[in-house]
Chains A and B, each alone.
Chain A
């Protein structure tokens, strides 16, 4: 039973445009959500997070939106750059010290 779902395995966008990565969750106990970025042959790096008491968190070019009623969050990257090409993992946490990860979305930003 997959509690965190990233339904798009891949996404391709043009440099300078917006990238939108989506994530859905099923567990109502989740109260903290994170996005990680992963380059090949490296470990995942923390990108941005959001608490369930908020609906938006922004950090530079990266914004995460949370829609609790729909159990949906999204990561917006504006403007997209070729260096943003990576695999992005959505993760969720609630009631424990464990994170539950989605399967990831591979973003390709074309020059």
Chain B
């Protein structure tokens, strides 16, 4: 398995608070991705990175920001959490533009 960890694994937060999720890889892969998974929607891309300090938006980027200051870390920030951001968040990595390998996920609940 690719060395990907996500922290925290579970989080409950209140509406309006900022939240940061962390993805850490030990594979030195170039590409990193943040997805959210919701019932009836499958996996939707939030943001991705193609190198240190190089990021771009996915299809559901509103309300989220990302940062990648080191190859191994990709942070996802919810600037002001809303109930609609209650979801399971997955980080993924890839070296090429093909197969992506996923982390174990973070379950976020916004009350």
Contact = CB atoms under 8 A, between A and B. Distances in A.
A99 interface: yes
Contact of A99 (B40, B41, B100, B105): B100
Give the size range of B's interface with the partner: 20 to 34
A98 B59 CA distance: 10
Interface in A57-74: none
Interface residues of A, number: 22
Contacts, number: 49
B74 interface: no
Given A36-B102, A45-B102, 19 more contacts: A41-B105, A42-B104, A43-B4, A43-B92, A43-B102, A43-B103, A43-B105, A49-B98, A49-B99, A93-B97, A96-B97, A97-B50, A97-B94, A98-B33, A101-B42, A101-B43, A101-B44, A102-B42, A103-B41
